[in-house]
Structure 1
Amino acid sequence: MPTAAALTADTPPERLVAFRAPPLRAGKAHIIKDDAEALAAAREVAARIAETAIERDRERRLPYEELDWLSDAGLLAITVPKAYGGAEVSSGTLAEVIALLSAADGSIGQIPQNHFFILHALRLEGSEEQKRFFYGRILAGERIGNALSEIGTKTAQDHNTRLSKDGPVLRLNGRKFYCTGALFAHWVAVVANDDEGRSTISFVPRQTPGLEVIDDWAGFGQRVTGSGTTTLDNVEVHPFSVISLKAVFDRPTSMGPVAQIMHAAVEAGIARAALAETLSFVKKHARPWKDSGLDHGYEDPYTIAGIGEVKIRVAASDALLERAGRFSDIAVADPTVETVAAASVAVAEAKVASTEASLLAGSKLIEFAGSRATQTQFGFDRFWRNARTHTVHDPVRWKYRAIGDYWLNGINPPRHGAI
């Protein structure tokens, strides 16, 4: 089996234990070279995904094939740095790719978020050896699922899962939930505290003995994200597969803004799609209220005004998302206390706007389209359900406070992945 490259005479003894990687993913993934190609590929794949979105949601049909489309198109490697053969797209392009996929299917748009989150942590904290190895696997189309959050801890950012030394190797023990994408992954990124209480990320091959991914996600929205349980029973981990998560937030880095802009992009995409369905359905099918004296539903002045409001909210969400991308790129290029804080606030503003736009657009779609729009054949309820489910990932009410404190009192937001 293949081993990690570049182990030298200077390699610490604990690293000399053979690192055995699973076989490389079968099939050939396209290598995307720049932002324009990434956006073109996203539009093409999103169009295919949209064709079966209603049935996939209704039947809870897990998107194994669709995730292979993303891998084959090279879309899961677009953030790999150019020095390692990737496109290294801008934060704005990454957000737009997520939004395009989310407009096609909100569940599929969410799945790559943690994949890219982990890749950014690798960029910030990985060794040269780790980057060469794992970026190479990603360029081959391999996918990373997450095992980050847990149920039953004091907060969603606390972890009972442990990574402990066992001679020359390490062992993972714990239980995770909200493991988005783990069912479809080649690698599961597990967050755990080490023997000194420091937060770490371990890259664990999906088929490793002792690691079990359970399909028990039963949310009323985002139904096919695979966000269920992962259990870890004495799972062996090689030190080569571990990076520090603690270090990512101990200093000013772009980790928080990059993580959060993708969440905002999921909601922005859902909002766009709900608005597009509203316009199409109202034009074709909505009937006027009998007291209006009008011939067509699209002539109703209240419907017209309401759609105007939704359009403004969606456009504002898109504009703030694009602006947040520019701030995030500054933080990526020059991570200081000031640039990271400014990017975090800009992304928080985009997240507030996308949350409100997606919930409004999903609800108003049913209201303006009328009773016929509630028929399950149209699947219009999925927009609000997906938005409502995804938007509780972290509370927007705290973002309002962080934004206000920054602009009014000059207080920087906390450095973590949820602001």
Structure 2
Amino acid sequence: MPWISTARTVASRLAEDAAARDKANQPPFPEVESLRASGLLSLLIPKERGGGGADWRTAYAVIREIAAGDGSIGQLLGYHYLLSWNPRFFGTDAKTEELERAAADGGWFWGGAFNPRDPDVTLTPSDGHFLLNGRKSFATGARVADRIVAGATRTDTGDPVVVVLDPAHPGVHRPDDWDNFGQRLSASGSITFTDVPIRAEDVLGVLSDDLDPFGTLVTPAIQTVFVHFYLGIAEGALAAARDYTRTVTRPWVLSGVGTAAEDPYVLATYGELAVSAHAARALADRAADAVQRGLDRGHELTLHERGEIAATVAVAKVAATNAALDITARVLEVTGARATASELGFDRFWRNARTHTLHDPVAYKLREVGDHFLNGTHAPFTLYT
């Protein structure tokens, strides 16, 4: 299947009314249905299990394309891909096959309740199974998900664990409480669990300090999701601004040219922004290649190799963050005062980039990059590094 062209078609449709949907701020049920109908949700599932059989390089490229049309939906799709891979990172081969076949058959969309800074979700043994209780914020996709991956702490052992569950259970409460100024359709509100039964086989694994290096790739993999949808937002802003400048923006009275597209200052600014986007894309592709190599190594991956992958991803994360924030703010310099009209929604690109780039401080990524460059060190495994 031509995944990239499919993604571009979906992204084009999303872009048509992205500003209006951003204003309406409704849970993205129709958008998820659009992804489901396109076949993109099963892209990473092996063909023999009913999926698309694509690799992570392709998935990252698809995320970038979708984010260019709508940053929120790019985030949703990226999280879906990562969460659907959690059984591979933490579970058994048998459990992974079971879930992937069911996901392909059911067209599942995956959401998460994994915020490590909300440690109050507990998993308590009870009559041969477990009970899940507590609340998580920033549960991206959970509001519209068919399956949820959640982080919890076992009350009997104190171990941090990963579980998978069906959100249709009445003890799962998914309020529509996401109302931030950016990524408004990412369904990143809260989720509460009240005595939700979890079977022993649905506890995928433990997030221990001695986790197999392959399992710790979960963090570079999701950080690279961020890289690509940041870049997609930036590229979407550039494309929208280019179309507007060519067709609507008027030349300045002192420019001496017939169209805004001939203005030397406009051209120079677009040149700067295009260079920034090209550079960030090169580093994003490098990060995608590094993650794919690590995933291909499987359980033979070493800690040193994992550390080098994380360092490569950190470089791309910094570059994509800086490029997205700069590009989405400065496109207004080359579109003009009329482009600030609310109906056009040019501000959404910056709001989207600014909102998610606060996920984890880029200053700490810079410290990782500097420490690796100067001292050859690798950041310890956390759900942020």
3-state SS, counterpart of residue 214 of structure 1:
coil
| Residue type of the alignment partner of 2:100 | Y
1:61 aligned residue: 26
Question: How far off is 1:82 after superposition?
Answer: 4.9
Q: Quote the Cα distance in structure 2 between the aligned partners of 1:37 and 1:297.
A: 36
2:336 aligned residue: 370
3-state SS, counterpart of residue 231 of structure 1:
strand
Question: How far off is 1:38 after superposition?
Answer: 2.5
1:381 aligned residue: 347
Q: Quote the Cα distance in structure 1 between the aligned partners of 2:138 and 2:146.
A: 17
3-state SS, counterpart of residue 191 of structure 2:
strand
Q: Quote the Cα distance in structure 1 between the aligned partners of 2:335 and 2:317.
A: 27
Q: What stretches of structure 2 of length at least 5 have no aligned partner?
A: none
> What are the residue-to-residue correspondences of 1:275-290 with 2, within 5 Å?
275-290=238-253
From 303, 311, 315, give the equivalent of 2:266.
Answer: 303
Question: How far off is 1:371 after superposition?
Answer: 0.7
- Which deviations, in whole Å up to 9, do the C-alpha atoms of 1:229-266 show, x marking residues without a partner? 11111111111211124059723122222111111111
1:164 aligned residue: 124
From 340, 361, 366, give the equivalent of 1:395.
Answer: 361
> For residues 292 and 49 of structure 1, do their structure 2 counterparts lie closer, same or farther at Cα, with a shift above 3 Å needed?
closer
Q: Quote the Cα distance in structure 2 between the aligned partners of 1:128 and 1:329.
A: 19
1:222 aligned residue: 183
3-state SS, counterpart of residue 174 of structure 2:
strand
Number of aligned residues: 378
Please give the root-mean-square deviation of Cα atoms over the aligned residues, in Å. Answer: 1.8
Q: Does 1:208 align with 2:169?
A: yes
Q: Does 1:117 align with 2:82?
A: yes
From 295, 302, 310, give the equivalent of 1:344.
Answer: 310
Q: Does 1:97 align with 2:62?
A: yes
3-state SS, counterpart of residue 175 of structure 1:
strand
| Residue type of the alignment partner of 1:296 | T
Question: How far off is 1:394 after superposition?
Answer: 1.2
3-state SS, counterpart of residue 312 of structure 1:
helix
> For residues 185 and 249 of structure 1, do their structure 2 counterparts lie closer, same or farther at Cα, with a shift above 3 Å needed?
farther
3-state SS, counterpart of residue 202 of structure 1:
strand
Question: How far off is 1:386 after superposition?
Answer: 0.4
Q: Quote the Cα distance in structure 2 between the aligned partners of 1:241 and 1:290.
A: 67
Q: In 2, are the aligned partners of 1:125 and 1:247 still within 8 Å (CA)?
A: no
Q: In 2, are the aligned partners of 1:147 and 1:189 still within 8 Å (CA)?
A: yes
Question: How far off is 1:85 after superposition?
Answer: 4.1
Q: Quote the Cα distance in structure 2 between the aligned partners of 1:216 and 1:223.
A: 11
Q: Quote the Cα distance in structure 2 between the aligned partners of 1:89 and 1:338.
A: 27
Q: Does 1:259 align with 2:199?
A: no
Q: What stretches of structure 1 of length at least 5 have no aligned partner?
A: 1-35, 150-155
Q: In 1, are the aligned partners of 2:249 and 2:260 still within 8 Å (CA)?
A: yes
Q: Quote the Cα distance in structure 2 between the aligned partners of 1:248 and 1:415.
A: 8
TM-score, scaled to structure 1: 0.86
3-state SS, counterpart of residue 291 of structure 1:
coil
| Residue type of the alignment partner of 1:217 | W
> What is the aligned-residue identity percentage?
34
Q: Quote the Cα distance in structure 2 between the aligned partners of 1:367 and 1:300.
A: 12
Question: How far off is 1:338 after superposition?
Answer: 2.4
1:355 aligned residue: 321
Q: Which moved more, 1:242-251 or 1:223-232?
A: 242-251
Q: In 2, are the aligned partners of 1:49 and 1:105 still within 8 Å (CA)?
A: yes
1:237 aligned residue: 198
Q: In 2, are the aligned partners of 1:106 and 1:386 still within 8 Å (CA)?
A: yes
